Amino acid sequence: MMGKSTVRDVNLKNKKALVRVDFNVPLDKEGLVTDDRRIQAALPTIKFILDQQPRKVILMSHLGRPKGITESLRLTPVGDRLQELLKEKVLKLDDCIGEKVKRAIETSSQRVVLLENLRFHKEEEKNDPAFAKSLASLADIYVNDAFSSAHRAHASTVGIAQFLPAVAGLSLEKEINYLGKALENPRKPFVVILGGAKVSDKIMMIENLLPKADSFLIGGGMAYTFLKAEGRKIGTSLCENDKIAVAKSLLEKAAKAQVPIALSSDFVVVTKFDSSTDMKIVPEIPDGWMGVDIGPKTRRHFQEILSKAKTIIWNGPLGVFENDDFAHGTREIAEYIAGLRDVTTIIGGGDSAAAIAKFHLEEKMTHISTGGGASLEFLEGKELPGIAALQDRNS
């Protein structure tokens, strides 16, 4: 894994391991966890460490964006859910640093400890060295298993690595292996599917992947900026007018590199974003209408390109998939990919992962990234601070 040490490389017997996990999960009004996929993603690392007979596994995470101590953002319901999934008692503490925390860890009989929300302390996001040092003083070794926070230079992702031996967890290792291999040495043809609302979010990713990809398929809201750049009519569809020139230059770069960029040739359109009463399929978007999904002809064209692919990276839905009437494009492409054989399929976090979950296709994909922003930055070719901070193998 890109030369970084992992939990497999260190001796954890009788050691206290401090593990940065991503338990930033949605809670309902009753404070119950409504989606535990991120908790489940951390289980292999937690179980792996427990199998090594450590003294303690101390887990830390942020939850939401609290301003100071916020009762509704305590990690207590997360601890409850973790306990159910792990089938082992979890000691949940009311803070993440300090003598009281240290004492509780030392004296408790539980092997698994969950610290309170890191962001209750403003020093976490400031990457404050004293705060990082306080966290580090709780343990002998630091394990980062939170890929989705690896693009942030916070105390619990970067600062702490100054004070403890720092290694990657299994989930982080898996992310870097899949995304890294896709970038470094993809099996060809390599097809990139891009969607979501904004071109601006994907510019650097397109530029980084242009020399590596064999073709791009572009749908979602960002497609209309490209279509407008080609001089096509887009009605009242979403468009970043200040990015039309950028879209035009990306299309020119791709043409020069002989990498086809496939855009929609037909559209599902409506007059009002939140209503499907007047929905129709058109080859060109009329004035007063907006595109909300790729049409059936485009879906067939995309499938034709995907049928030859050996590596597929997908980042961003192809329509307004939250509304079932506008989810057909995203669903049909997802189902088509799920049925392909001998293909590496990588779903790049955020809304794409939510769409795959909505259609119950998670098991059919090679890898679903847990990190929205982190996977985007990784695919843009950036070095993520949380990964850079880990110790290199053989160092």
| Catalytic (active site) residue 243 | no
CA 15 to chain centre: 30
In sequence order, what are the beta bridge partners of 387? none
**Residue located via tokens 């990964």:** 387
> CA 31, CA 288: separation in Å to the nearest integer?
43
Encoded tokens for 313 = 């990276």
Residue 373 annotated to the active site: yes
DSSP 3-state of 191: strand
- Cα–Cα distance measured from residue 73 to residue 197, given in angstroms and rounded to the nearest whole number: 29
For the 178-379 domain, the top CATH level (class) is: alpha beta
Amino acid at 47: K
| φ and ψ at residue 105, rounded to 5 degrees | -65, -45
- Write down the CATH number for the domain with range 7-170: 3.40.50.1260
126 in active site: no
pLDDT of amino acid 21? 98
Residue 107 has a pLDDT of 96
**Contact assessment for residue 89 and residue 69, using Cβ atoms and an 8 Å cutoff:** no
pLDDT of residue 2: 57
Q: Is the dihedral of CA 361, 365, 367, 372 positive or negative?
A: negative
CA 363/CA 377 separation, integer angstroms: 25
pLDDT at residue number 182? 85
What pLDDT shows up at residue 370? 78
377 token code pair? 């930055």
What's the one-letter identity of residue 154? H
38 is an active site residue: yes
Catalytic residue among 55, 133, 181, 198: 198
Domain with CATH 3.40.50.1260 in the chain: 7-170, 178-379
Got the DSSP string for 32-70? -BS--HHHHHHHHHHHHHHHT--SEEEEE---S--SS--
Report residue 82 as tokens: 């973790």
Q: What local confidence, expressed as pLDDT, does residue 1 receive? A: 45
d(CA 286, CA 282): 8
Give the pTM.
0.89
> Which SS3 state, helix, strand or coil, does residue 270 take?
strand
Residue 29's contacts (CB-CB under 8 Å, 6 or more residues apart) are none
Catalytic: which of 196, 350, 371, 372?
A: 350
From first to last of the 395 residues of the chain, give the pLDDT tens digit.
458 999 999 999 999 999 999 999 999 999 999 989 899 999 999 999 999 999 999 999 999 999 999 999 999 999 999 999 999 999 999 999 999 999 999 999 999 999 999 999 999 999 999 999 999 999 999 999 999 999 999 999 999 999 999 999 999 999 988 888 888 889 999 999 999 888 888 999 999 999 999 999 999 999 999 999 999 999 999 999 999 999 999 999 999 999 999 999 999 999 988 777 899 999 999 999 999 999 999 999 999 999 999 999 999 999 999 899 999 999 999 999 999 999 999 998 678 888 999 999 999 999 998 777 888 899 889 999 999 999 998 75
* Residue 167 DSSP SS3: strand
Output the six-digit token pair for 181: 């291999």
Q: What DSSP assignment string belongs to 151-196?
A: TS--TTTTGGGGTS-EEE-HHHHHHHHHHHHHHHSPPSSEEEEE-S
